[in-house]
Chain A
Amino acid sequence: MSTRVVIDPLTRIEGHLRIELETEGGAIRKAWSETTQFRGIETIVQDRDPRDAWAFVQRICGVCTSVHAIASVVAVENAIGANPPRQARLIRDIVLASQEVQDHVIHFYHLHALDWVNVPSAATADPAKAVEFARSIGSTWKGNTIERMTAVRDTVQQILDSGQLSIFTGGYWDHPDYRLPAEANLMAVAHYLDALEFQRSMIRIGTVFGGKNPHPNFLVGGMACTIDLDRSESINQVQLDQIADWVAETRDFVASCYLPDALAIMGVYKDYFDIGAAQPNYLAVGLAGATFGGDPGASRTTSAHTEVKPGVLLDGDLSTVHPFDPTKIAEYIASAWYTYQDGDDAGLAPAQGETTPQYTGPKPPFEWLADADKYTWCKAPRYDGKPVQVGPVARILLAYAQGHQRTCELVDDAAGKLGITVDQLNSTAGRTLARAVEAMISAEALAEVTFPQLVDNLKKGDIDVFDNSRWDPSTWPDKGEGFSFVEVARGNLSHWVTVEDGKVARYQAVVPTTWLAGGRDADGQQGPYEESLAGAGSHPLHDAAQPLEPLRTIHSFDPCMSCAVHVLDVEGAELQVVTS
């Protein structure tokens, strides 16, 4: 007798992802990943000035605005033949890196950690033992003091006494599978709060270069900021000194707090390195921040890690890095509420993509969507016909497979400490660990490569951040097609634009969450979310009313449903559990 379970909404920050499950005997047998709202960003920039497109498309998402802006600007530059100067590209690298590390930190502590960390339990901890615990796992964070832990314990106690759990509302705090000792929970809650304070520093890096935050300013052909070390109204020495401090603080936080915490927490949940595997195919164009205008196989714009090449790993084989060919990407709609001119079983390349909605599902409120072939607004992208994983785990495995030294050091060290093999990174715990490893690599690159390079160039007098030779539409081709690939926090992001007669004729965005959250294709292959839950048929789910285990797995992908779709739910639907 199987039980039907619906988890909706699933994400903590946006409520547009829904999962339907069939379970039997405490394990998940079948899974469907559903996005219940339509994204139509492609239509809103139609016929607009391509130099303005970034300002619209950055509103696709509320959390990662700058990455969409950069992807758009780079795609348009590719279409019109603009070449931003070196310093502008470096600034974009710095903005991307600070955004990415901030995103990973926020994801780990504020969106995912509470799947593993029991907040109420922290109130019962001994602060001195919490400090000891932090030391024992190698955390050298300056906040590991008895005074700090005592203050945080008292804060948690006050929250519990007030009867209002504040930002911790909605957790399954009675679930029996919270395993950390009280002291570890207290340490994690303290670091949760420290991370909230600390993210300010990373945000400010983007603010200085983009003029404001949220929604920093970007520019086709370069960056909108002016640099003059001696003037107060442009980016000057004072601000560069501040950025240097924030960059150092970023590295310190990741090295002394985030990475040790991730290792320690995943160590307690080690069985999750055997839970939640999705298809062992991985696609990335480099490590986080890698940015290409046009074919990554042919062009290299800029990146802190040029030694890691674009590539694809297939069928779990980490010894063969296949060259990445963008023409092998196609989007399928067999399970999605769209229609294609050539039939709904066809696969279309993003540059030829069609976004013609054709909703055939039931009227809300509905109880169950998955009985129909079509059950989601998310297209199913495939690479050479295969579902692939994107994101930190794909990038880390690609870098590892190419022998990238720092990646290998960090991965081998973590694997040794945890007693796992590298291929076990394809798992719920593995994706979470890979994210922390990547944050370390990015924070180091920011501190040691990109920011020092920018400053060195400035010292040599290179303050050029804008190339105006292609600003005037009369310099553009009558018809230009462009695309960009950018490795952003959640994975591979591509924007595809056609510029005709000075206007946007066609626009498509393939976002990381689409790669991961898409449903079944015409061949019945599940998307990565679905495979991670139902692939082995043994994913645990002990209590349908408290679906903590599948939440752990889906959160490990860092879902961002505001990115895949963006319309809202006025009532904010409650979690549903349907049993039959």
Chain B
Amino acid sequence: MTAVTVLGIGNPIMADDGTGLALAERLSRSCAGDPRVEVVDGGTGGMELVPVVQDAERLLVLDAVAGPVPGTVVHLTGDQVPRLLATKLSPHQVGLLDVLAAARLLGREPRQVEVVGVVPEVVDLRLGLSDVVAGVLDVATATARGVVERWLAEDDDAGHP
């Protein structure tokens, strides 16, 4: 069973909207070969992501996150996630709140959900991230990596393989 599901959200042809996918790609490389971690490119999918969310034991969402200062690395845990989701977490309206709410309604949802993201500077039709966002990818990736390692360590402590 996959212990940690990493879900990258965003559109790579929309500049910083692709932040979540860029982070997912980096995390995917650093977790390569670890069968306990699954990295999913969620794109801007809607309800078709429900199975991914439902099947996740622990879900780390990587995404562009709305905020006042571009380039800010954001890490949401616990109660912060639903509260901020309610005020539109994601600039591309993927309906992540809908997806999480649907998973809850169906009676099967991740035990834990955390979000790591970056506040975008440019969301416009073009390839590649802005310099501001590209400049903090290392920090954001390390934050995300930290979440994954913490979760895996919790599993180890609990005696799971």
Q: A residues within 8 Å of B by Cβ?
A: 13-15, 38-41, 43-44, 56, 59, 61-63, 65, 102, 106, 110, 155, 159, 166-167, 193, 196-197, 199-200, 203, 212-215, 562, 566-572
Shortest Cβ distance from B17 into A: residue: A568
Shortest Cβ distance from B126 into A: residue: A44
Determine whether the beta carbon of B41 is less than 8 Å from that of A215. yes
> What 8 pairs across the A-B complex have the smallest Cβ distances?
A62-B44, A214-B45, A166-B101, A200-B51, A167-B101, A40-B125, A568-B92, A214-B43
Given the known interface contacts A193-B105, A568-B17, the answer about A62 and B94 at a Cβ–Cβ threshold of 8 Å is: yes
Residues of A within 8 A of B11 (CB): 59, 62, 566
Min CB distance, A147 to chain B, in Å? 14
The count of residues in chain B whose C-beta lies closer than 8 Å to any C-beta of chain A is 34
Determine whether the beta carbon of A203 is less than 8 Å from that of B41. no
Can you give 7 contacting A-B residue pairs, CB < 8 Å?
A40-B125, A44-B126, A106-B47, A167-B102, A193-B106, A199-B50, A568-B93
Residues of B within 8 A of A38 (CB): 125
Name the residue in B42, B123, B125 with the highest tally of chain A Cβ atoms < 10 Å from its Cβ: B125
| Assembly CA distance A59 to B127 (angstroms) | 12
Determine whether the beta carbon of A569 is less than 8 Å from that of B93. yes
Cβ-based interface call for B81 (8 A): no
| Assembly CA distance A570 to B106 (angstroms) | 29
Determine whether the beta carbon of B93 is less than 8 Å from that of A43. no
Given the known interface contacts A167-B105, A566-B11, the answer about A13 and B95 at a Cβ–Cβ threshold of 8 Å is: yes
Residues of B within 8 A of A196 (CB): 47, 50, 102, 105-106
| Assembly CA distance A196 to B94 (angstroms) | 17
Residues of A within 8 A of B127 (CB): 44
Shortest Cβ distance from B66 into A: residue: A570
Min CB distance, B132 to chain A, in Å? 16
Q: How many A-B residue pairs have CB under 8 A?
A: 96
Name the residue in B12, B47, B91, B127 with the highest tally of chain A Cβ atoms < 10 Å from its Cβ: B47
Min CB distance, A62 to chain B, in Å? 3
Determine whether the beta carbon of A571 is less than 8 Å from that of B102. no
| Assembly CA distance A61 to B105 (angstroms) | 26
Determine whether the beta carbon of A63 is less than 8 Å from that of B50. no
CB-CB contacts below 8 Å: B71-95 with A:
88, 91-95
Residue of A61, A167, A570 touching B123 (CB-CB under 8 A): A570
What is the predominant secondary structure among interface residues of chain B facing chain A? loop
Residue of A39, A56, A59, A203 touching B43 (CB-CB under 8 A): A59
| Assembly CA distance A219 to B115 (angstroms) | 34
Shortest Cβ distance from A562 into B: residue: B44
Residues of A within 8 A of B104 (CB): 166
Given the known interface contacts A13-B93, A200-B51, A566-B14, the answer about A215 and B43 at a Cβ–Cβ threshold of 8 Å is: yes
Determine whether the beta carbon of A62 is less than 8 Å from that of B46. yes
Shortest Cβ distance from A152 into B: residue: B105
CB-CB contacts below 8 Å: B86-136 with A:
88, 91-95, 98, 101-102, 104-106, 123-127
Determine whether the beta carbon of A567 is less than 8 Å from that of B45. no
Determine whether the beta carbon of B48 is less than 8 Å from that of A14. no
Determine whether the beta carbon of A214 is less than 8 Å from that of B41. yes
Cβ-based interface call for B142 (8 A): no
Cβ-based interface call for B153 (8 A): no
Residue of A40, A155, A562, A566 touching B105 (CB-CB under 8 A): A155
Residues of A within 8 A of B47 (CB): 106, 110, 196, 199
Residues of B within 8 A of A571 (CB): 88
| Assembly CA distance A572 to B86 (angstroms) | 12
Min CB distance, A308 to chain B, in Å? 28
| Assembly CA distance A63 to B48 (angstroms) | 8
Shortest Cβ distance from A569 into B: residue: B93
Min CB distance, A99 to chain B, in Å? 9
| Assembly CA distance A193 to B106 (angstroms) | 7
Determine whether the beta carbon of B93 is less than 8 Å from that of A203. no
Determine whether the beta carbon of B51 is less than 8 Å from that of A13. no
Residues of B within 8 A of A167 (CB): 98, 101-102, 105
Residues of B within 8 A of A213 (CB): 48
Residues of B within 8 A of A65 (CB): 43, 45
Cβ-based interface call for B49 (8 A): yes
Residues of B within 8 A of A214 (CB): 41-43, 45, 48-49
| Assembly CA distance A155 to B42 (angstroms) | 28
